[in-house]
Structure 1
Amino acid sequence: MKNGDRVIMNNKYRVSERNKGKVFIVRSEPWDLCGTECVLLEGYRGGYAVDGLTLVD
């Protein structure tokens, strides 16, 4: 996953109704947070685990 990728949140973690199916733009390179690879998303506060995201076309 890299800066500029388009992603949606998958069902690995709880996703609010507001964010289900919403396309986010990755705005950072992945980093390690206590053993979990995370990225920043446009329009989302804080980091989000990479394994909870699915790339879209």
Structure 2
Amino acid sequence: MVNCYEAKKTPENIWVTRSKPWDLGYGQKVSLLEGKTGGFSVNCLEVVED
């Protein structure tokens, strides 16, 4: 997570997506994350590869 409240709250966490992104009714793209409830904005996610 980057550039959001959650990133500041838990900077050491790396989250794994559990869904492909989808559009909300007003156009915001979100994805489900393991261990979180509800969709999370993909604008605040950064790809990390092993």
**Normalized against structure 1, the TM-score is what?**
0.71
Decide which structure has greater strand share: 1
**Residue identity matched to 2:5:** R
Q: Could you say which structure has the larger radius of gyration?
A: 2
What are the Cα deviations for residues 25-47 of structure 1, in whole angstroms up to 9, with x where unaligned?
A: 11001100121100000011111
Q: Identity over the aligned pairs, expressed in percent?
A: 38
- Unaligned runs of 5+ residues in structure 1 are 1-8
Cα RMSD, aligned residues only: 1.3
Q: Which residue of 1 aligns with 2:48?
A: 56
- Partners of 2:31 and 2:11 lie apart in 1 by 18
Moved over 3 A (4+): none
Decide which structure has greater helix share: 2
Please show how residues 6-17 of structure 1 align to structure 2 within 5 Å: 9-11=1-3, 13-15=4-6, 17=9
Instruction: Pick from 1, 11, 15 the counterpart of residue 24 of structure 1.
Output: 15
SS in 1 for 2:5: coil
